[in-house]
Amino acid sequence: MKPIEMDLARTTSLLTEEPLTEEERQELGRVLTVLSYLHPSIGYSSGMNFFVNALYSYLNDEEYTFSFAHSLIEHKKLKGMFAPSRPEYFVKSFILESLIKNHLPNVHSALKKANDLPITTFSSQWLIVVFTNTLKYDQLMPFLDNFFMKGWIAVFQMCLAILQTFEPIFLMAKDSDQLMGEFVNMNAKIQSIDSRGLMQLSSQFAVTEEEVRLSELAYFNQEVKNALTGGSVHDPQLQQPNQQL
pLDDT for 76-105, tens place per residue?
A: 778 888 888 888 898 899 999 999 999 999
pLDDT at position 64: 92
How far is residue 217's CA from residue 79's CA, in Å, rounded to a whole number?
19
| Least confidently predicted of 62-66, 70-74, 120-124 | 120-124
Residue of 172, 183, 154 lying closest to 76 (CA atoms): 154
**Mean pLDDT, residues 196-207:** 93
In angstroms, rounded to a whole number, what is the distance separating the alpha carbons of residues 215 and 76?
17
| Beta pairing partners, 12 | 19
pTM comes to: 0.85
CA separation for the pair 192, 54 (Å, rounded): 19
pLDDT value of residue 109: 86
Angle at 98 between CA 123 and CA 113, to 5 degrees: 70
Nearest residue to 234 (alpha-carbon basis) of 78, 93, 82, 77: 93
- The whole-number pLDDT of residue 164 equals 94
